[in-house]
Amino acid sequence: MKKNVTEIIRSYRRIKYDQKRLEQMAAIHRKNAAFTMISEELYVDNLLLAEKIKLVDGDIVECGVWRGGMIAGIAELIGKGRNYFLFDSFEGLPEAKEIDGKSAIAWQQNKEGENYHDNCKAEMDFAITAMEKTGVDYECIKGWFDETVPVFNKSNEIALLRLDGDWYDSTMVCLKYLYPKVVNGGMIILDDYYTWDGCSRAVHDYLSQIQSASRIFTSEKIVCYIIKSD
């Protein structure tokens, strides 16, 4: 039987964290600091969200992994017994379009910018190194999302879908093909929802297209996420 959204939220909120647990999560960030762009504060908030899906059966998928530091931290936290799938071109981001917003286009054109990171390019070996430390079962799936995501058939039950694709098209294709695989009560974390217009537009457009009643929430440190209740 499907839980309604109120029941799901209540079950998640029953999970409490003490200072020792938060320090353990900060230590996971320090271990993976060379493999992630995410600050410790936001990294820990991602882990706080991810840990809630221990209550939910299913695999863990991240689309847009850079060097793999975030999903490696999630894997260390959640542990074995699930499959972890890492989607990335490992060639950087595709070209930003008008729908992604002026700031996205300007960011990509400024190759000397502090946070450019070679257009978010990273060799797959970084992600492999990060994930090998966790001991979980994982697979790196290399290629552009519009080529790899539509043909993905190795999981039909996703407990956590973390999207870090930045742009409209990248976010939309992931939602179109992977959101239906997220189980009831599963979570979708939207890394770029508050950063890039394209991401937020894709989220709104997709949820409207499927007439979803799932809510969009924000964590304490402003990480955007959805709890699927369709």
Closest CA to 192 of 87, 67, 103, 95: 103
User: With pLDDT > 70 as the criterion, what percentage of the chain qualifies?
Assistant: 93
Q: How confident is the model at residue 120 (pLDDT cuts 50, 70, 90)?
A: very high
Q: 65 near 89, Cβ under 8 Å?
A: no
- Spatial separation of the C-alpha atoms in residues 95 and 216, rounded to whole Å: 27
- State which H helix or E strand residue 218 sits in: strand 215-218
SS3 166: coil
Looking at residue 9, its pLDDT comes to 59
DSSP class of 44? H
Q: How confident is the model at residue 149 (pLDDT cuts 50, 70, 90)?
A: very high
Looking at residue 209, its pLDDT comes to 97
β-bridge mates for residue 137, sequence order: 83
Q: For 79-90, what is each residue's pLDDT tens digit?
A: 999 999 999 999
Task: State phi, psi for 111 to the nearest 5 degrees.
Answer: -70, -10
Looking at residue 15, its pLDDT comes to 57
Q: For 31-62, what is each residue's pLDDT tens digit?
A: 999 999 999 999 999 999 999 898 899 999 99
Q: Is the pTM value of this prediction over 0.75?
A: yes
Q: 136 near 82, Cβ under 8 Å?
A: yes
Q: Is the pLDDT of residue 192 over 90?
A: yes
What distance lies between CA 67 and its chain's CA centroid?
A: 13
As a whole number of Å, the end-to-end CA separation of the chain is 12
